[in-house]
Amino acid sequence: MSELAAADLDRHDTIRAVNYAGGVLRLLDQRELPFTETQIECRNAIEVAQAIKDLVVRGAPAIGIAAAWGVVLQAARLEDAGHPIGTAMLDSTFDTLNAARPTAVNLAWALARMRAALVAAKGDVLSVLSAEARAIQEEDLAANRKMGGIGAGFFAHGIGVLTHCNTGSLATAGFGTALGVIRAGFAAGKIKQVYAGETRPWLQGARLTMWELVRDRIPAKLIADSAASHLMKSGAVQWVIVGADRIAANGDTANKIGTYQLAISAKRHGVKFMVVAPWSTVDMATKHGDDIEIELRDPAELLSISGKRTVVDDADAWNPVFDVTPAELIDVIVTERGAIERPDVAGMAKLAGAQG
């Protein structure tokens, strides 16, 4: 990446969703965006776990980063109370944070890193834990910037792209995964038009992705999720670019509900399909996408919009918030370790052996 390109990327990297300073974790409340920019303050792990459950903070990498800081907050509480900071005292903290959301493996991955740092810590344990949380956050940002360049390398000039959910700075340490590739592709003059699916029911695309794209002055049009196949048939998009919450060892990818139908439609219309995720989203211990737990959320999220009920009283709803796209529908998975074209067990294993 040239100096000029790095400066271009800086201009597209101005939002931070997770901010730790002075013993307080401040989270940009994503339930309130785009019209209100409110910070929620967390001072212990229970508050962080609740913020993750309630989607104050969301997006696979961002919830891992927030959970890592949750461990730091709890360790600080122990130190304040004069207790030793050890695994026995923090076991329930790890469990509470890990249980907050089931599908994104970044949560368990970040907590495993924090536990390993705790076990190995000597001397000032709180400083060791803080340094580890800081490293998790900084490494995610660096991975996103790197993936931006790798992903944009696949594009021809003058293309249109479709994205889903929010995979931007709000969902990560900064810059974003799929949205990072879109930012890099726009900065390189390759992407001319972005389409963002609104992402029912929580509207991550409409509320969050459009907010990020409009702030960055990237030409973007919102579409109803149900307009995606019609858009692809029109020839306006050459790539669908999405993030991931967990990628299995065979390349099957769990991501926001609706991703699977986009991949099917992309195949039907000759549109390329790219998944962008840091290696922390890869779960080599899960062999197949069918083994990924899919989070079911409150049906109430579907039965109302902005708190106003839209469905007849007594109606029920089914609200799975992720689905799994089979590897055979994915053209390329982009990670900071490199890209895997036509992902399969061998391609995933090759990159698993590569350096981060």
# residues near ligand MRU by CB under 6 A? 17
One-letter amino acid of 64: G
Question: 125 vs 173, which CB is nearer to ligand MRU?
Answer: 173
27 near ligand MRU (CB under 6 A): no
- The only residue of 9, 60, 65, 262 in contact with ligand MRU, by rule CB under 6 A: 60
CB of 175 to ligand MRU, least distance (A): 10
Name residues contacting ligand MRU, limited to 174-193 (CB under 6 A). 177
Question: 183 vs 256, which CB is nearer to ligand MRU?
Answer: 256
- The only residue of 74, 93, 137, 172 in contact with ligand MRU, by rule CB under 6 A: 172
**How remote is the C-alpha of 245 from its chain's centroid?**
6
Check if 313 is active-site. Answer: no
Cβ atoms of residues 25 and 69 within 8 Å? yes
- The only residue of 204, 265, 286, 325 in contact with ligand MRU, by rule CB under 6 A: 204
Question: 132 vs 212, which CB is nearer to ligand MRU?
Answer: 212
201 near ligand MRU (CB under 6 A): no
280 near ligand MRU (CB under 6 A): no
CB of 322 to ligand MRU, least distance (A): 6
Q: How do 159-163 and 39-42 pair as beta strands?
A: unpaired
3-state secondary structure of 272: strand
321 near ligand MRU (CB under 6 A): yes
Residue of 13, 29, 216, 245 marked active site: 245
In sequence order, the 6+-apart residues with CB closer than 8 A to the CB of 46 are: 96
171 near ligand MRU (CB under 6 A): yes
Q: Where does residue 56 rank: exposed (0-12), middle (13-18), buried (19+ CB within 10 A)? A: buried
Backbone phi, psi, residue 324, to 5°: -115, 125
Tokens matching residue 352: 């698993």
Closest CB to ligand MRU: residue number: 243
User: Which run of H or E residues covers position 204?
Assistant: none
Distance CA 216, CA 213 (A): 5
Provide the phi-psi class of 307: left if phi over 0, else alpha when psi is between -120 and 50, else beta.
left
Question: 45 vs 275, which CB is nearer to ligand MRU?
Answer: 275
CB of 84 to ligand MRU, least distance (A): 35
Sign of torsion, CA 18 141 86 98?
A: positive
61 near ligand MRU (CB under 6 A): yes
251 near ligand MRU (CB under 6 A): no
DSSP 8-state class, residue 296: B
Name residue 330's beta-bridge partners. none
- The only residue of 93, 137, 167, 250 in contact with ligand MRU, by rule CB under 6 A: 167
CB of 263 to ligand MRU, least distance (A): 13
Question: 171 vs 191, which CB is nearer to ligand MRU?
Answer: 171
Provide the phi-psi class of 158: left if phi over 0, else alpha when psi is between -120 and 50, else beta.
left
Cβ atoms of residues 87 and 119 within 8 Å? yes
CB of 53 to ligand MRU, least distance (A): 11
One-letter amino acid of 237: V
Name residues contacting ligand MRU, limited to 96-155 (CB under 6 A). 104
Residue 127 CB neighbours (<10 A): 12
CB of 59 to ligand MRU, least distance (A): 4
Q: How do 304-305 and 282-283 pair as beta strands?
A: unpaired
- The only residue of 8, 27, 58, 181 in contact with ligand MRU, by rule CB under 6 A: 58
Footprint on this chain of ligand MRU (rule: CB under 6 A): 58-61, 104, 165, 167, 171-172, 177, 204, 243-245, 255-256, 321
Active site residues: 245
